[in-house]
Structure 1
Amino acid sequence: MSFCKRVAIAAGAILIASGLAQPSLAQKADLAAESARIIALSRAGQYREALPLAQAMVARLEATANKRDLAAALTNLGQVLASLGRDAEAELIYKRAISLYEAALGLDSVEIAPALNNLAALYQRQQRYAEAEPLFVRALAIREKALGSSHPDVGQALNNLATLYERQDRHRDAEPLFKRALVIYRKAAGNDSAPVATLLNNLGQLTKSDGRFDEAEPLIRQSLAIREKLLGADHPDVARSLNNLADLKQRQQRYDDAEPLFVRALAIRERALGPDHPDAVTALNNLAGLYLAAGRNTDALRLIDRAVARGQAQSKVALPVLFAAGRDGGMPAGQAFDAAIDVVQRSAQSQAAAAVDKLAVRLAAGNDRLAELVRKDQDLAAANDALDKSLIAAVSRPAGQRDLAAEARDKARLAAIIAERAGLRATLAREFPDYAALSNPLPLKLAEIQPLLAGDEALVAFAAVDDRSFVLAITRDRFDWRQVPVGTDGLARDVMRFRRGLAPGALQDGGDPSALFDLAVAHALYRTLLQPVDALIKDKRSLLIVPSGPLTALPFHLLVTEPPAAPVPGNVAGYRDAAWLLRRHAVAVLPSLGSLKALRGGPGGDRGGRPMIGFGDPVFDPALAAGPRRSATKQAARSIATLAYTEFWRGAGVDRSQLARALAQLPDTADELNAVASDLGAPASDLHLGTDASESTVKHTPLADYRIVYFATHGLVAGDVKGLAEPSLALSIPASPSALDDGLLTASEVAQLKLNADFVVLSACNTIAGDKPGAEALSGLARAFVYAGARALLVTHWAVDSAAATRLMTDTFHRLKEHPTIGRSEALRQAMLALLDDRSSPANAYPSVWAPFVLLGETEMR
């Protein structure tokens, strides 16, 4: 989605009511005054001040029998919590408020609508669109029934639902709703009102996205004219309209018309909000994007230089500009490359932020020095956000209502908070470098990366943007980068085609050749992704891959380096002779460029003294914990593929009853763990199976004593996990879940474990990606294990064949025991090739059998 489309949606949010419900406390003047105070503080962006008041009001009303007043107070509290980013708590509060309203007033009371709208808006922000839609639809139906089809609140509800559809590119559903809302607001507020300006803008953005430029331009111009008339020429909302009109001109390749509009929008935002504000940064990148599109690379580079220096460059603009500058001599090649890897790392950091945020919440609950610093950082971040919202609201007032002195004080306070937070981060980096490296890693420069690489290693990183991608290759003494004419959507389609035929059972799908792995597709992807830098990497024994976006779902070792022979129907053994990349390189994946320093930058340290601890065959349904029902279920489960499940997340956690029904038991994982433990000499007492494969066991066991920590279970990490859903491992679900043990070991809980492991194995998990691959899943769980003390992880790209998994793991660890200097990735490579080349069964040559595992993290034994 382009920035300009996001602007349209943000503008639409003007019509989404704050949802702060005024409790019916007419006879209780003190509570009425408190409610008014909460609403006033919230509207001013002073959420930290509003929170204790909202909590106190709820506490006072809990003791009463007045469900209606309590529901209203809960709605207010939920809104404050959501504004502070505490979505998990807000969701539960909203749900409780809705339930109380229904009990007190019935299902169709108009008083329920704000709580429905607030919960829907929370889901929408988390991109949980399927859950948001019925809530918005219900709120609209309630308001139409209670207020009539022409009431302004109905217009608001129409806009809410239309904006949801717009975010999903459901333009045919959104457009008639926007038009209905526009008619309502023109009648209720007048043709020159702010809501009319917002709806005209939204319709203009929608028609522009559809390529209906002749329809879009008058709509956007009308919106701009209304805003200038109501708000003045220097209002931030005017800058929004200017940007949207400029984007229209750019899409029409009318670059000379677009430039003054973008320039003016940038000037307004920098003047009103400061040059470092996110809105001003976006405006700067938009102008640079215009210059890039117009072929004015020198002008674009001037702006991108500013953005890179501040850590504010957006990859979709910056990378093409820097690539052109390095190629054409606009800046030294090494300088352009350094700037590019800075942009790539900052982008990846933002994608993995969710897991880090959840870890910070957990750490802040402690009572040690780290907890104190993390809490202080959270308080400063909240104060920064609240003050920023207050400042935006202040500068958005009409000129005659603005308090310039107060705005200046707010800007000074904001600058002071930013400076204080920078000092705090320096303290964290000094006292707790591991946490600082996880939570706020500084991008590595080329000169820092190259010494970390061995002479026979090459590192290859990828960055995909809208219509193109970049591959960046680094060795100990050289570097190169190339532009690839395939963007994020194209790569996603290619990866999906590539993964066809890799699921277990593909060989048994009736022998349909189209259902099998396609070697030609694997070779085409090799030509796209690695052949452009082949001169740099082809002679290196080891490849370190840093994927992004759709490429997190790509098992790179299955790329094919030479054109394959024409397939022979039914000849599965023909896969054995393909030119697999694995035959040329040992391949490992890094969750980020910065993780290379975290893994290699410090001393190796002593390993754990005991060989292995394992957790497997967990019990997902407590009712099946023992007896014949569990035995029968185990037997049936042997034919069920292991899958990843993200759809079971529900706000603060998981619908565990649904999860228990859906997760297949994994009886073969017990066999796998026993076989690996036997080969490594691990005693049976270090294997935790069935109900003992639980969070409680994991958290109470001294894991740092073990060189290998082995999880054989489902992984809930595939896909672009949104909202509060964390990448997790599914363990035995207890009959009475608690905060300590709810059956899911999340990334933030993993990061609090104490490990000293050469390997963490995540087997039979589908632990990298599923149908909707996303970098967050890969980075979140991997970074958590690295932070906890794992040097490397073995993870799977698809559900594994149990017998093959046992053989691959035992062979890998046996090779490392016999030859520890060969390194982890090489040991895995040899084990996979041994299975591939085993002619005792033709099926051994098929890639879903021999290639599910990938090494993530440090390749060498140190």
Structure 2
Amino acid sequence: MMLSTRCSAVLLALLAPMPLLAAPPSFSASDPRHAALYRLEEAASELYNSEDYALSMSQRTRDAWQRLHDAAVKARTNGRPHPLAGVALVNLSSMDQLDGKNADALRRSAEGLHLIEPFADAYPIEWMQGLSIEGYAKIALGDVPGGADTLARASRYMDGYIARLPPDGIDKDVHMLRSNIAFIHAQALMRLGRNAEAVAAQKACMDARIAAVGPHSADALGAYYTYAQMLQRADRIEEAEHYARLAVDVATDHVDRKHPNYARALEALGLLLSRTGRRVESLDYLQRAIAIKRETVGTDSLYFHFGLQNLGSVLLPLERYADAEPLFMEAERGFRALEGENSPQSARALAWAGAASLAEGRRAEAIARLTDALGRVQAGTDQDRDIGQRAYPYLIPALIETGRMAQARSAAATFAGESAQLDNAPAFPLALAAMLAARTGADQAKLGEAARRLVEVVRDGAALNDQGELNEEQRIALDMVLAVAAETQDGPLALDAMAIMAGSRIAQANRLVAQRLVEDPTLAVRVRTLQDRGKALEAADSRLLKALATDSGVADARAARAAAADAVAAEQASIARDFPRWVEARGAERPDLSALRRDLGADEALLAVMPAFSGVYLMAISGTQTRIERADMDRAGMIALVGRLRDSLSPDGFDGEAAHTLYGQIFTPGIEAVLGKARSLRIVPTGAFASLPFAMLPQRPVTQARRDTPWLIRRFALTVQPGFAIAGAGERQMAAQTQTFLGVGAPRAFEDAALATRSRGSGPAMAANGAFRRGDPAARTLSALPPLPGSAAELQAVADRFGPERATLLTGADASEAALRGSDLSSYGVILFATHGLVSGEMEGVTEPALVLSAPSSATPDTANDGLLTASEVATMRIGADWVILSACNTAAGDHAQAPAYSGLAQAFRYAGAGALLVSHWPVRDDASAFVTLETVKGAGRGLPRAVALQKAMLKLIRSDRPDAAQPYIWAPFILVGR
């Protein structure tokens, strides 16, 4: 019988052989006396191997196998039932397993193996198939060690079986069988924490899969990507990246997009994009993959539910918990329905849903889900390490926050023990487990030491991540560190943790900039050296943590860790000296609290507002004091308030209750005491708070905007900083009377140029984003942008402040990418863009923020001058201005809806060389933009600090007679980034 292609395609007929037993000498598998049985076997096999999935899994197919079983039981041979009776049961057990009926699969496979056993050498494939199903069912029902042992024997036998065959006599199905055995063996080893063995098993799976179907088959994609996942778990990151990209290349070049398996290729591409920091791009691929699965295999399939879980896992780091949670719960129900109440896959989905509910502030629900997830797997085995690594980091903090310390202490001890048993002993889970154990203990000295060590490990891990991105476990770890810092008022500890969080945002925002900089071959070599030393430091961290856990060899391990840390610090300092912009773009600067205090002006203070995982943390710093607090309201509630306030803003009003509640949550009595009488305030916000217009927070309850409303802007001149970097010599005060000015805006509309060009079939393609790649929508959107009648007047008014000798204007057709590239931008002290700004995703095909410039000439279409100046294009420029003003819609916005503000165009201009930036939170009325821009430039020209100049411009607009000028919608979007 040929092995079912259905099993191979879905990677679920996961097979395990044992040593063959000698059949009775008189038995022949082709005895003509049993021709009727062979015909029944052929008929059943034809149904089971049908390309029609529904038919292959139908009752009709089951009936065919049952007829073979019933006839073979009666056809005695050597006094026993004919072994085809066992073959029929093995195939029925395979159908049970594919349907998620693992208890039935285990029962039928055991019975089938009993019938085949005396004749096993005559039916080696069927014998191995039955044993593999038995091994898989054991694992699915909780006996992971037993299943792993069975599959280890299966793998050894398969190696011998292959060795006995001539190279040209190995059937494709034998290779596929070998691949499937190795796959489920690798999964079992991974669940037991035996990651190095899991990598070897998955490599065998991949090699056999390639031998079976070729390197370019859609069926090989899963093997490539799963191998990459295993390598990543074993901390072999570079190899993991190679195989993940190989999967993408195969998907792109060789997979038929109409084939159902193309969904797996889309998933591979989506998951790779998410891992390289392009999560928003990845969502489209993952959603399309789910749609294809829905049409091809339906929703009653493990394949479909894995797709839901993958999509949810990408939404989590985007903090889209409300979107991720129902996906995890649908997957949980699906896995449980198919695999039974103790399905390990359902437990993992439930654990992720528990993490989402914890982030949303529903602690009791999170505890119930996480406890249930652990219980489902541990009901069958106490050796499943994977579920503990997923659940305990969320469960223990939730127990602590709800005062259930005894349970938290017990869970922390279990987590520490399990983490220490992982074969590659990664530093992060060991450090996290030690921190949680200390958090549930009474020794405050140990708690502080564990918190500092955890911060070091998280920083090391973030530094090795090319995207600088923190995962969920790292974010909840920093949440706990900040909670400890708030309890002990440990300013350096809090600053260290917050700097990692802010640096992660900066690194994500400047991924393209950092990639461009590292193209320098000298820097590339230095970065690789730093990464190698970072890996050595991680290994030293791991050894030290293990030594501390066992109280053995601590002194030697501590010395080795210190030496590795010194090597990393020396290389970082060397790179920072020679390539400071790369360090800045990576957000890798480590702040010093004393130096930060010295950098503050006499009447200046700093306020950091950081949403972590479940809490929001505040830190106020003055010249002499520091205060750390956790906001009373949880993260989800405060972020909801930010969204509520933003959504309420209109020329007619705003949500005064939300605005004042946010003020009260942030400006607590303790924070106010540190801010004291400061008149200037630097704000370091991350996450959703980077999109909060702090200037419009009212200091007392208000119901409507008036000219005398006590907004925060009346008390402070505000500056926003993406991180905690101390001002360098480059951040100098603008002196408008001695600087030159460049104004760019009022561009030629797209209607005549772009649409006319398209109608002739020779329209330009947008190089960076492909906005015209999919036809009309983008061109129509660009042509439909509303006019900005005040932009030309705004540019001219500011130019007049500088005088004709020191001012240059690029307007109309001259406001183009080509004209900018032809200009020496380093010679201008002030640059003003007065045009439309686009947020990523606002236009079809535009995947990053952009400024709209003049439409390209229809006669000379040029992909490098497509009319959109994107963030990545800005980052390649060389700008010398110490002030860039982006008088355009949404120029403070991030590169996607969940990204922090200032991470798009503003950050691109910063790393192109600009000093400070004046940008806007939302689409602005052009007359208000012109007023604020001109008044700010005038104030700075009189020698006012830029933040004060902006403060006075906003207050003057509020007092003016312009329509609705007192409404925050009109005056509050403007922010100063940098000084």
TM-score, normalised relative to structure 1 = 0.69
Letter in 2 for 1:530: F
Structure 1 residues 766 and 440: alpha-carbon distance in aligned structure 2, compared to 1, 3 A threshold = closer
Deviation of 1:245 after TM superposition, in Å, equals 7.1
SS at match of 2:433: helix
Report Cα offsets for 1:195-242 as digits up to 9, x if no partner. x4333443466479583977875652341354545x6xxx55665566
Deviation of 1:487 after TM superposition, in Å, equals 2.8
Deviation of 1:799 after TM superposition, in Å, equals 1.5
Report Cα offsets for 1:262-308 as digits up to 9, x if no partner. 223234434536776333344345445656xxx98666445214324
The alignment status of 1:539 with 2:677, answered yes or no, reads: yes
Residues of 1 paired with 2:453 and 2:714: CA distance? 44
Residues of 1 paired with 2:593 and 2:909: CA distance? 26
Do 2:604 and 2:622's aligned partners in 1 also have CA atoms closer than 8 Å?
yes
- Structure with bigger gyration radius: 2
Residues of 2 paired with 1:605 and 1:837: CA distance? 26
SS at match of 1:460: strand
- Give the match for residue 661 of structure 1: 780
Q: 535, 540, 556: which one pairs with 2:694?
A: 556
Q: 908, 919, 925: which one pairs with 1:801?
A: 925
Residues of 2 paired with 1:204 and 1:474: CA distance? 38
Q: 563, 578, 583: which one pairs with 2:714?
A: 583
SS at match of 1:476: coil
Report Cα offsets for 1:282-338 as digits up to 9, x if no partner. 4345445656xxx98666445214324555583311122121123xxxxxxxxx112
- Structure 2 counterparts to residues 35-50 of structure 1, below 5 A: none
Do 1:608 and 1:757's aligned partners in 2 also have CA atoms closer than 8 Å?
no
SS at match of 1:211: helix
- Give the match for residue 830 of structure 2: 708
The alignment status of 1:339 with 2:489, answered yes or no, reads: no
Report Cα offsets for 1:440-461 as digits up to 9, x if no partner. 5332222101111111212222
SS at match of 1:575: coil
Letter in 1 for 2:405: Y
- Give the match for residue 882 of structure 2: 758
- Give the match for residue 593 of structure 1: 724
Letter in 2 for 1:181: F
Structure 1 residues 441 and 185: alpha-carbon distance in aligned structure 2, compared to 1, 3 A threshold = same
Residues of 1 paired with 2:773 and 2:676: CA distance? 45
Q: 606, 617, 626: which one pairs with 1:479?
A: 626
- Give the match for residue 634 of structure 1: none
TM-score, normalised relative to structure 2 = 0.61
Report Cα offsets for 1:537-584 as digits up to 9, x if no partner. 3522222221222221222222223454x65xxxxxx61121233233
Residues of 2 paired with 1:654 and 1:419: CA distance? 50
- Give the match for residue 513 of structure 2: 359
Do 2:838 and 2:850's aligned partners in 1 also have CA atoms closer than 8 Å?
yes
The alignment status of 1:460 with 2:574, answered yes or no, reads: no
- Give the match for residue 158 of structure 1: 305
Structure 1 residues 159 and 285: alpha-carbon distance in aligned structure 2, compared to 1, 3 A threshold = farther
Residues of 2 paired with 1:175 and 1:751: CA distance? 41
SS at match of 2:500: helix
The alignment status of 1:786 with 2:910, answered yes or no, reads: yes
The alignment status of 1:256 with 2:400, answered yes or no, reads: no
Structure 1 residues 772 and 687: alpha-carbon distance in aligned structure 2, compared to 1, 3 A threshold = same
The alignment status of 1:441 with 2:588, answered yes or no, reads: yes
Report Cα offsets for 1:639-676 as digits up to 9, x if no partner. xxxxxxxxx99899997964443341544323322332
Report Cα offsets for 1:689-708 as digits up to 9, x if no partner. 34543444334421110011
Report Cα offsets for 1:800-857 as digits up to 9, x if no partner. 211222122222222322x12x211122222222222234x45333333333322111
Residues of 2 paired with 1:792 and 1:695: CA distance? 22
Deviation of 1:727 after TM superposition, in Å, equals 4.5
Do 2:879 and 2:912's aligned partners in 1 also have CA atoms closer than 8 Å?
yes
The alignment status of 1:517 with 2:654, answered yes or no, reads: yes
The alignment status of 1:850 with 2:850, answered yes or no, reads: no
The alignment status of 1:325 with 2:446, answered yes or no, reads: no
Structure 1 residues 203 and 469: alpha-carbon distance in aligned structure 2, compared to 1, 3 A threshold = closer
Residues of 1 paired with 2:632 and 2:772: CA distance? 40
Deviation of 1:761 after TM superposition, in Å, equals 0.6
- Give the match for residue 523 of structure 2: 370
Report Cα offsets for 1:71-130 as digits up to 9, x if no partner. 778998899999879999989985994686447xxx3x3443432432454467626546
Q: 393, 405, 415: which one pairs with 1:265?
A: 415
- Structure 2 counterparts to residues 642-657 of structure 1, below 5 A: none
Deviation of 1:775 after TM superposition, in Å, equals 5.8
In terms of mean alpha carbon deviation, does 247-256 or 276-285 score higher? 247-256
In terms of mean alpha carbon deviation, does 727-736 or 486-495 score higher? 727-736
Unmatched 5+ stretches in structure 2: 1-139, 145-166, 187-194, 358-363, 460-473, 547-559, 760-766
Q: 643, 646, 665: which one pairs with 1:528?
A: 665
- Give the match for residue 470 of structure 1: 617
Residues of 1 paired with 2:198 and 2:523: CA distance? 27
Report Cα offsets for 1:351-384 as digits up to 9, x if no partner. 22223332222223345x3355456667988x99
Q: 957, 970, 975: which one pairs with 1:835?
A: 957
The alignment status of 1:117 with 2:280, answered yes or no, reads: no
Letter in 2 for 1:363: L
SS at match of 1:686: strand
- Structure 2 counterparts to residues 478-517 of structure 1, below 5 A: 478-500=625-647, 502-503=649-650, 506-507=651-652, 516-517=653-654
Report Cα offsets for 1:772-791 as digits up to 9, x if no partner. 86563424544443333222
- Structure 2 counterparts to residues 13-412 of structure 1, below 5 A: 69=216, 94=248, 97=251, 101-102=255-256, 107=258, 109-122=259-272, 126=279, 128-129=282-283, 131-143=285-297, 154-162=301-309, 164=311, 169=322, 174-175=328-329, 177-182=331-336, 184-185=338-339, 196-203=343-350, 206=353, 211=365, 217=371, 220-224=374-378, 226=380, 228=382, 235=385, 239-240=389-390, 254-270=404-420, 272=422, 277-287=427-437, 300-308=447-455, 310=457, 314-326=477-489, 336-366=490-520, 369-370=522-523, 372-374=525-527
- Give the match for residue 611 of structure 1: 740
Between the two proteins, the alignment pairs up a number of residues equal to 721
Do 2:505 and 2:686's aligned partners in 1 also have CA atoms closer than 8 Å?
no
Letter in 2 for 1:370: L
Residues of 2 paired with 1:587 and 1:252: CA distance? 37
Residues of 1 paired with 2:530 and 2:819: CA distance? 32
- Give the match for residue 598 of structure 2: 451
Letter in 2 for 1:164: L
SS at match of 2:829: strand
Report Cα offsets for 1:105-162 as digits up to 9, x if no partner. xx3x3443432432454467626546523412413542459xxx6xxxx423323325
Identical columns (%) = 28
Residues of 2 paired with 1:172 and 1:629: CA distance? 42
Deviation of 1:528 after TM superposition, in Å, equals 2.8
Q: Which has the higher contact order (CA 8 A, sep 6+)?
A: 1
- Give the match for residue 408 of structure 1: none
In terms of mean alpha carbon deviation, does 760-769 or 372-381 score higher? 372-381
Residues of 1 paired with 2:891 and 2:610: CA distance? 22
Report Cα offsets for 1:369-406 as digits up to 9, x if no partner. 3355456667988x999x99xx9xxx9xxxxxxxxxxx
Residues of 1 paired with 2:953 and 2:270: CA distance? 50
Residues of 2 paired with 1:836 and 1:249: CA distance? 49
- Give the match for residue 462 of structure 2: none
Do 2:883 and 2:916's aligned partners in 1 also have CA atoms closer than 8 Å?
yes
Structure 1 residues 726 and 688: alpha-carbon distance in aligned structure 2, compared to 1, 3 A threshold = same
